[in-house]
Amino acid sequence: MQAEQLERYLREKLPQAGALRVSNPSRFSVGASRETWGFDASWEEAGAPVTRNLILRRDTEGGPVESELELEYRVYCALQGTNIPVPVSYWYENDPRWVGRPFFIMGRVVDCESSPQVLIYDPAYAAGRAQLGERFLEIIANLHALDWRKTAFAEFLAAPPLERAATSQLDYWEDVLNRVELEPQPLLRGIFQWLRERIPPPPARLAVIHGDARMGNFLATTGGEIRAMLDWELAHLGDPLEDVAWAMHKTFSFGMEGSVGGMMSREEYLSRYQEMTGTPTDAAAIQFWEVFAGLKLAVILLTGGRAFVDGRSRSMTLLSLARTAPRGAVMALDCMGVLEGER
């Protein structure tokens, strides 16, 4: 992506800006479902200099998640001014003449880190690690307490019947599997059936669900402050325990076994969420959503493989990750208790 392309777009969006310049456009290596580019913009407005650190999120031609870029942008917009920290949102654009594919632009949050390996293992972040877990839980609790009916979420997120909060997610991800599997997946089909036979009681109320809330999807400081929650492409309305269990998936412990993202123990995590929200973290319901997390992860990995095989992506990373899809299924089986007798 060239600076000139971005300059042309910003000049159209900021007709009052003089001497507008874009510098340092570079693609970040993080993320597979979207391209993420950072760049700096400067201009003069009303005689005063203005500078902005900006992020451009662009659709990929094929990735591990099937989601609408505009939906993600609208989520960021809906969260502006709430107690959920997100970057400032600026513009969404679906005209391909600018950079070839749809994109949106938001503010860049600087002097923060998102890498799980850095946040968990770098000594510079050790002092803030305990606070990091508490802050993560506070943000998730605040998100689930948000009255979405009084916000823009009500305009673009479909609300399933309360009693179908779990079933609607099973239907969605099984439909994805139907479209992306390259060969029969009897193990995944069996896990879907196991889950359908164990639907938990409906939640007290529908909540905005991040869909991928975990270590690695937020920007944090060395002091344990979370400045922004990222990657909202899987946001939907559903059961709050879905988010709670997703962050507990073993993949997202990044080597810190028995922990939630290396931030706190599983027991403390569930206890603190229940204290903050009053939502019971029933063991059977948590088990259901943990099994679902392993299943969902397996389907996501297969989706990336399908994109490669169909020629929509040239990423060898997606192809190699698709080969690890059975690990998600095995982790689901572990949560189901199927593997207990084989240890």
Which CATH fold would you assign to the domain 3-107?
Phosphorylase Kinase; domain 1 (3.30.200)
Kindly report, residue by residue over 74-130, the tens digit of the pLDDT: 999 999 999 999 999 999 999 999 999 999 999 999 999 999 999 999 999 998 988
Helices (H) and strands (E) in the chain, counts: 12, 11
Place of tokens 């005209």: 95
pLDDT of 31 reads 62
Kindly report, residue by residue over 235-280, the tens digit of the pLDDT: 999 999 999 999 999 999 999 989 999 999 999 999 999 999 999 9
pLDDT of 343 reads 38
What's the start-to-end Cα distance of the chain, in Å? Answer: 51
- 226: helix, coil or strand? strand
pLDDT of 44 reads 96
List, by residue range, all CATH 3.30.200.20 domains of the chain. 3-107
pLDDT of 211 reads 97
CB burial of residue 147 (10 Å; 0-12, 13-18, 19+): exposed
- 128: helix, coil or strand? coil
Kindly report, residue by residue over 280-302, the tens digit of the pLDDT: 999 999 999 999 999 999 999 89
pLDDT of 214 reads 97
Average pLDDT, the chain: 92
Residues 6+ apart with CB under 8 A from 101: 58, 59, 60, 61
pLDDT of 342 reads 46
What is the band of 63 on the pLDDT scale with cuts at 50, 70, 90?
low
Residue with more model confidence, 198 or 34: 198
How far is residue 225's CA from residue 129's CA, in Å, rounded to a whole number? 9
How far is residue 27's CA from residue 298's CA, in Å, rounded to a whole number? 27
- 224 Ramachandran zone, left/alpha/beta (phi>0; psi -120 to 50): left
pLDDT of 207 reads 98
User: Spelled out in words, what is the top-level CATH class assigned to the domain 116-342?
Assistant: alpha beta
Residue 113 DSSP code: B
What is the band of 62 on the pLDDT scale with cuts at 50, 70, 90?
low
Name the pTM for this structure: 0.93
List, by residue range, all CATH 3.90.1200.10 domains of the chain. 116-342
Cα dihedral 187, 188, 193, 197, rounded to 10, equals: 100
Kindly report, residue by residue over 130-171, the tens digit of the pLDDT: 899 999 999 999 999 999 999 999 999 999 999 999 999 999
pLDDT of 305 reads 83
* Percent of residues, the chain, with pLDDT higher than 70: 96
Please give the average per-residue pLDDT across 50-69, as a whole number. Answer: 84
